[in-house]
Every structure is written in structure tokens, then in C-alpha cells.
Amino acid sequence: MTLLVTAASGHLGRLVVDALLERGVPASDVVAGVRTPAKASDLADRGIRVVEFDYARPETLAPALDGVSRVLLISGTDADRVAGHGNVVEAVRAAGIERLVYTSAPRNDEIDYALGADHKATEGLIAASGVEATILRNNWYSENYLDTVARAAETGEIVAAVGDARVASASRRDYAEAAAIALIGDELRGQTLELGGDVAWTYDELAAAASEVVGRPVVYTAVTVEQLAAGLEAAGLDAGTAAFVAGIDDAIARGALAQTDGTLSRVLGRPTTALVEGLREGLAAR
């Protein structure tokens, strides 16, 4: 069984490759799909076949899928990510791949938010393709807050427009291990899983965790979505980007990231990584 990990030179992709090898998958059975193979020479040095795999260039996809059994599609970051995802889904279908695993976004069929819309559309493309798939709706990575915590070390403040909403984050490594498990085994075949940390925390608790990690008092200051967008523009972001970022806070305030039912820890067979631990490890790795 040959497993292709897309975006394998990225933060999540590299951790998935690590998780596969740690679980006994031979390096010769892992294929690293990357946009720029030269940036993945370290993976090649480990005996992993590195192939060009650019979502936006369909001509790179079919050759990379030759001999592959299962594919992990890590969601892209391009502005037109749905088109790129669609290219991959079609290539997977045409190649007769037995299973596709996709990293999606939480509750995208329950709560309407910009980030979730692209993932919902991709899930629709996968369903229409007829390819057997496992959908991993990953909640937030705790590492998403590293810049926030680093700023708080200087300012003593975390500013957000999420109200008293909760976030069930887990470490990037937790989600990577879950993706590896979905690729290797058959227990999760055909399922759509909402994955999140064991604990859903508030931003007051995020501030407390930041205080512990950086060694100084940190407080959470709640603002409105409009105030946040204006502040982001004042800091130099263009209006569209500021609105997008503020819109993520609005989605969090409406509960997009609040769900946690222990699914991720059950998949992993262990508790998920605590917020403080994830932040501390992430900052230490910088």
C-alpha cells in the first residue's frame, strides 16, 4: 500500500510523514507530494519518494499518483483553493485511488463562515466524485495562536472579537497523527469526523495560558468585529484581508470552533495535547 501525502513540505504534511514512519510504514511506501521538490530534499534523504504535486497544475497530478493506493489531501491556501482541490479530486478519481482523506474545516455544514465555505464546497466535490473518502474536519491548531501569544509577551493583552465563545483546539501533531491513522487503517473509512481538543477553552483561559507560557500577566480584551477590522486596517492590512480575519473571529463567536466530543482523543487512543503544552512547545520550536 503506497500512501501519498500532499503539501508534504508544509508544517502539517511533514508531521503526517513523521507519524506514518513512526507507525511502521516503510519510507519506500510513502510519497511526498510537494509544489517545489527542491524544498523537500530532507524528505528524499529519508528514503521517501518526492514528486511534484501542484494543485493548480493538473499536469503534475496524474504522474504523481501512479502506483499510489491512498491520498491525503491537505487543504490548500491559494485564493482559489476550491478549484485546486477539484483538480486533485478529479485526478484521484481518474487514477482509481482507493481512498482519499481530506483535511476540512469544522462544522462547515452547520455554520456559515467564509473559511468553512471553501471546505464545504470541496466536500461536495469529493462526494460527487464517488471516491471513497474520510473527511477530517480539523478544529483550530493551538499553534495558530503562537503569534498572538508572542505579541502578548510584549503588550500583556490579547484582543479579539469572539466574545465568550470557546475553541476546542489541539496541537498540529495531534491532527497529523489522526490523518496518518485514517490513511493506514480502515476503521475511519467513509466517515466525516469533527476533530477537536478534549477541552474547549475561552479567550480568558487563552490569556491565562499565555500568562503561564510567557511569564507575565496577560488579559483578554473583547472588541466588536467592526472594531477589530478597523484596528487591523490601522495596523496596515488592506480592507479585504482585515474583513476576512475579523470574519474568522465572528465565526468563532458563533460557535464554529466550540464543539468537542472526544472523537480526536478516541482516534488517537490518548488525550489531546493541552493548550499550555501546545503553546509552550510551539514557541520553543521557533
- Sign, CA torsion 15/259/277/22: negative
Q: From residue 35, give the alpha-carbon distance in Å to each of 57, 78, 90.
A: 9, 12, 18
> pLDDT tens digits for 36-57?
999 999 999 999 999 999 999 9
What pLDDT does residue 114 have? Answer: 86
What pLDDT does residue 79 have? Answer: 83
Domain ranges of the chain: 3-138, 139-171+196-260+273-285
**Quick check: 53 and 60 in contact, CB under 8 A?**
yes
> pLDDT tens digits for 8-21?
999 999 999 999 99
How far is it, in rounded angstroms, from Cα 240 to Cα 18? 37
Q: Determine the 3-state secondary structure of 179 from DSSP.
A: helix
Q: From residue 86, give the alpha-carbon distance in Å to each of 2, 28, 53, 102, 120.
A: 22, 28, 14, 12, 12
List the chain pLDDT tens, one digit each, 286 residues: 999 999 999 999 999 999 999 999 999 999 999 999 999 999 999 999 999 999 999 999 999 999 999 999 999 988 899 999 999 999 999 999 999 999 999 999 999 998 899 999 999 999 999 999 999 999 999 999 999 999 999 999 999 999 999 999 999 999 999 999 999 999 999 999 999 999 999 999 999 999 999 999 999 999 999 999 999 999 999 999 999 999 999 999 999 999 999 999 999 999 999 999 999 999 998 8
Q: Determine the 3-state secondary structure of 24 from DSSP.
A: coil
Give per-residue burial for 129-167: e unless 16+ CB within 10 Å, then b.
Answer: bebebbbbbbbbbbbebbebbbbbeeeeebbbbbbebbb
Q: Residue 116: CB partners within 8 Å, gap ≥ 6?
A: 105, 106, 107, 108, 251, 256
Torsion of CA 77, 78, 79, 81, to 10 degrees: -80
Q: From residue 57, give the alpha-carbon distance in Å to each of 53, 65, 92, 276.
A: 8, 14, 14, 40
What number of other Cβ atoms are within 10 A of residue 259's Cβ?
Answer: 19
Q: Which CATH number fits domain 3-138: 3.90.76.10, 3.40.630.30, 3.40.50.720, 3.40.50.300?
A: 3.40.50.720
What pLDDT does residue 130 have? Answer: 97
What pLDDT does residue 286 have? Answer: 81
Q: Determine the 3-state secondary structure of 103 from DSSP.
A: strand
What pLDDT does residue 285 have? Answer: 86
DSSP letters, 109-136, are: TTS--HHHHHHHHHHHHHHHHT--EEEE
Instruction: For the domain covering 139-171+196-260+273-285, report its CATH number.
Output: 3.90.25.10
